[in-house]
């Protein structure tokens, strides 16, 4: 669905009344004096002719310039600020006068900024004598144009006094005549500005195409492919409609240029319908909605094929008629999905709403409801840029939404696993206790000895815990970590699995101690370990206090990327943490160093520890509160 195609459709609705009124005026003709425009070297640099012209409808398409120039022709004044007569088989003649107030000839450009008119002819008369004439149109090679521009630009040399200009337009599409008269210098400046705006639009659309093409290759999600097809179709449609492709891409392909507009319009309908159906998951949500959007996509595909063989005036009407209901259906279904709880549809709805808002502003300015300026004149292009960018955000937002759902499911599965492990440990403990009681009954004679042995065993276990547990934080200490590092290194080398180490410490911990005392610092250490301990779930992973405010996390069978992601989660959680002490909230950050040894590579515990320490040192030097990953071995 395209904004310009929507604009054409809305124009047909709005211009029906105007056409009927014009037909009534033809049935009862009345003469009215046609205005003229005074031009001079110091006068207006740009004249919008608009309603300052007379129009003559040539239903036979056989009138000659001499017949049209006759004084007895029933010219009618134009009341529209931007003359547009819609789809019509009639030829239309336009008449306006330019009075040169200077004593010397004056050069002016007449511009018709509608590059898809089939037949454009201009006749310049002075005192009844033909001075200049041009025959142009999009059915002629671009090289034949007297002025190499994407629009129809015709230079006039105005003689002093009265200059009569007649223009004949005929086309299989719409007849639009928003004619302008320019000073050459002012025209060049405006043309450069217009090309800059179009270049920005083209740049944004091309960047979105390339970026999402890479994302498609990475994800193989067909939504990205349909999105790329839509943006590419609209890009070619827009620049074909504005004449840039005929000027710079296929200047000799007259036949192709005559069908390209309807072809790319149909392509936009096809890919936008496929995108809406696939992105909104209409097949899972509603069979009726899925069938509706599938019908629009089939219609777009048929129209693409039809545009290559059928007449342009037929295919462009079909495209304009199909565009509006397809756009309305896509937007309505998007809001329906959002209302029914699909949060990923929010950016989708916002994107199409922005596009339609830009279209509304453009049409309001065209029909004189609001003033025309840079923003209103380019509202449809701004709307399209917002549409394309927000649709890209829409795809990214859906991926994040699905990721959250997967993480929630994984968290639930992990919670069930922890409950199962707790039940298993309770069963093992109950079994051990029963065995111990049975053993005590059997060994009555050695009860005293067994009690002594049990007391000794308890004492040994307590001593073991004390020797491997940090007294402040109640997590493993450095001695336990050193043993675990050696053991897991041997295991990783034997099984050829990866091993990762995260080393981190609290930033500016001395300042915390100086400000809140050592008890405040101890409160921060306990708060940090309580936080991190809840994030370490796998059996075999080790969280230990390495010394002072420094901690380590040993992750078995974990690649560098996963370890870095986990470190970033730790960093963000610590940054958001508040430690309560003495009716105060203490906030602090931490710096992280990550080192990994890939599966199958030889390494030593000292090497892994050294590289993690170097990465931590780098994080400290680069501003703290960040994660740095040591280079792979």
Two tokens, residue 125? 């008369």
Closest to 632 in 3D by CA, of 599, 606, 595:
595
Q: Is 357 helix (H, G, I), strand (E, B) or coil?
A: helix
Q: What is the pLDDT, as a whole number, of residue 268?
A: 87
C-alpha separations of 341 from 344, 348, 403, 467, 551 in Å: 9, 14, 17, 54, 43
User: Is pLDDT of 434 > 60?
Assistant: yes
User: Is pLDDT of 92 > 60?
Assistant: yes
Q: What is the pLDDT, as a whole number, of residue 381?
A: 63
Closest to 559 in 3D by CA, of 620, 606, 625, 492:
492
DSSP tag of 592: E
Share of the chain above pLDDT 70, in %: 83
Two tokens, residue 256? 């192709």
Give the span between the Cα atoms of 356 and 359, in whole angstroms: 5
State phi, psi for 31 to the nearest 5 degrees. Answer: -85, 145
Give the span between the Cα atoms of 125 and 111, in whole angstroms: 18
User: Is pLDDT of 445 > 70?
Assistant: no
Q: What is the pLDDT, as a whole number, of residue 358?
A: 62
Residue pLDDT, tens place only, 175-213: 888 899 999 999 999 888 888 888 888 888 888 788 778
User: Is pLDDT of 158 > 90?
Assistant: yes
- Write down the H helix ranges in 28-164: 65-69
Neighbours of 57 (CB within 10 A): 18
Residue pLDDT, tens place only, 218-269: 778 888 888 888 888 888 888 888 888 888 888 888 888 888 888 988 898 8
Residue pLDDT, tens place only, 346-389: 777 777 777 667 656 655 554 455 555 555 555 566 666 666 67
Two tokens, residue 422? 């707790």
Average pLDDT, the chain: 82
Residue 46, strand partner residues: 182
Q: What is the pLDDT, as a whole number, of residue 12?
A: 39
Residues across the chain:
633
Query: When comparing pLDDT for 215 and 579, which is higher?
Result: 579
C-alpha separations of 560 from 69, 218, 301, 596, 611 in Å: 83, 20, 47, 5, 13
Closest to 233 in 3D by CA, of 206, 255, 260, 265:
265
Give the span between the Cα atoms of 315 and 264, in whole angstroms: 11
Query: When comparing pLDDT for 632 and 327, which is higher?
Result: 327
Give the span between the Cα atoms of 573 and 568, in whole angstroms: 9
Neighbours of 480 (CB within 10 A): 19
Residue pLDDT, tens place only, 502-545: 999 999 999 999 999 989 999 999 999 999 998 888 888 999 99
Average pLDDT over residues 600-623: 92
DSSP tag of 602: -
Q: Is 362 helix (H, G, I), strand (E, B) or coil?
A: helix
Residue pLDDT, tens place only, 456-502: 665 565 666 567 888 889 999 999 999 999 999 999 999 999 899 99
Name the pLDDT band for 134 (thresholds 50, 70, 90): very high
Superfamily of domain 464-629: Reverse transcriptase/Diguanylate cyclase domain (3.30.70.270)
Pick 207-406's CATH classification: 3.30.70, 1.10.155, 1.10.3050, 1.20.1070: 1.20.1070
Domain ranges of the chain: 31-182, 207-406, 464-629
Name the pLDDT band for 302 (thresholds 50, 70, 90): very high
C-alpha separations of 218 from 209, 213, 276, 350, 399 in Å: 14, 9, 21, 26, 13
Give the span between the Cα atoms of 243 and 154, in whole angstroms: 16
Give the span between the Cα atoms of 123 and 34, in whole angstroms: 18
Q: What is the pLDDT, as a whole number, of residue 525?
A: 92
Residue pLDDT, tens place only, 68-82: 887 677 888 887 777
Two tokens, residue 101? 């107030």
At how many degrees (to 10) do helices 222-241 and 254-279 cross? 150
Q: Which residue has the tokens 């409801």?
A: 369
User: 31-182 has which CATH code?
Assistant: 2.60.40.2380
DSSP string, 467-507: HHB-TTT-SB-HHHHHHHHHHHHHHHHHHT--EEEEEEEET
């Amino acid at each position: 669905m395209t904004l310009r195609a929507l604009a054409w459709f809305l124009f047909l609705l709005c211009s029906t009344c105007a056409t009927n009124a014009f037909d009534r005026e033809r049935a009862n003709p009345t003469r009215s004096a046609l205005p003229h425009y005074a031009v001079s070297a110091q006068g207006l640099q740009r004249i919008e002719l608009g309603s300052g012209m007379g129009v003559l409808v040539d239903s036979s398409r056989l009138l000659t310039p001499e017949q049209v120039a006759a004084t007895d022709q029933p010219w009618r004044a134009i009341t529209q600020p931007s003359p547009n007569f819609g789809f019509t088989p009639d030829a239309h003649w336009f008449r306006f006068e330019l009075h040169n107030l200077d004593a010397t000839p004056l050069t002016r450009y007449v511009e018709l900024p509608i590059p898809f008119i089939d037949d454009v002819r201009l006749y310049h008369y002075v005192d009844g004598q033909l001075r200049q004439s041009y025959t142009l149109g999009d059915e002629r090679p671009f090289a034949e144009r007297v002025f190499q521009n994407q629009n129809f630009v015709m230079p006039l040399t105005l003689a002093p006094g009265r200059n009569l200009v007649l223009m004949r337009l005929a086309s299989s599409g719409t007849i639009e005549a928003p004619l302008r008269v320019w000073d050459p210098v002012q025209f060049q400046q405006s043309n450069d500005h217009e090309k800059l705006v179009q270049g920005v639009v083209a740049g944004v659309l091309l960047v979105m195409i390339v970026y999402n093409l890479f994302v498609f290759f990475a994800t193989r999600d067909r939504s990205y492919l349909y999105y790329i097809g839509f943006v590419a179709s609209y890009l070619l449609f827009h620049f074909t409609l504005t004449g840039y492709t005929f000027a710079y891409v296929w200047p000799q392909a007259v036949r192709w240029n005559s069908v390209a507009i309807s072809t790319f319009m149909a392509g936009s309908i096809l890919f936008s319908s496929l995108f809406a159906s696939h992105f909104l998951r209409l097949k899972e949500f509603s069979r009726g909605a899925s069938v509706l959007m599938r019908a629009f996509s089939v219609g777009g595909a048929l129209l693409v094929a039809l545009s290559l063989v059928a007449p342009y005036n037929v295919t462009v009407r079909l495209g304009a008629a199909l565009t509006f209901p397809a756009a309305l259906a896509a937007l309505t279904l998007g809001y329906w999905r959002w209302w029914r709880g699909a949060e990923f549809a929010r950016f989708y709805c916002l994107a199409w709403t922005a596009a339609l808002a830009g279209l509304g502003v453009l049409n309001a300015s065209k029909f004189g409801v609001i003033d025309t300026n840079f923003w209103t004149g380019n509202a449809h292009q701004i709307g399209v840029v917002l549409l394309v960018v927000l649709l890209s955000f829409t795809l990214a937002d859906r991926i994040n939404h699905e990721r959250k759902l997967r993480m929630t499911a994984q968290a639930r599965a992990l919670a069930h696993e922890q409950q199962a492990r707790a039940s298993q440990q309770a069963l093992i403990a109950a079994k051990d206790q029963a065995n111990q009681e049975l053993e005590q009954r059997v060994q009555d004679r050695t009860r005293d000895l067994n009690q002594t042995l049990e007391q000794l065993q308890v004492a040994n276990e307590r001593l073991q815990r004390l020797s491997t547990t940090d007294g402040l934080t109640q997590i493993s200490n450095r001695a336990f970590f050193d043993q675990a590092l050696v053991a897991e290194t041997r295991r990783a080398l034997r099984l050829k699995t990866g091993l990762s180490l995260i080393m981190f410490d609290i930033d500016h911990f001395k300042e915390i101690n100086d400000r809140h005392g050592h008890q405040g610092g101890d409160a921060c250490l306990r708060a940090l370990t309580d936080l991190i301990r809840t994030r370490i779930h796998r059996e075999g992973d080790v969280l230990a206090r390495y010394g002072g405010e420094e901690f380590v996390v040993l992750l078995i069978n974990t690649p560098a990327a996963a370890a870095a992601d986990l470190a970033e989660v730790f960093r963000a959680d610590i940054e958001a943490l508040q430690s309560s002490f003495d009716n105060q909230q203490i906030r602090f950050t931490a710096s992280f160093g990550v080192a990994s040894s890939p599966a199958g590579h030889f390494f030593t515990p000292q090497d892994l520890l050294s590289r993690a320490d170097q990465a931590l040192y780098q994080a400290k030097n680069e501003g703290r509160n960040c994660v740095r990953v040591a280079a792979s071995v």
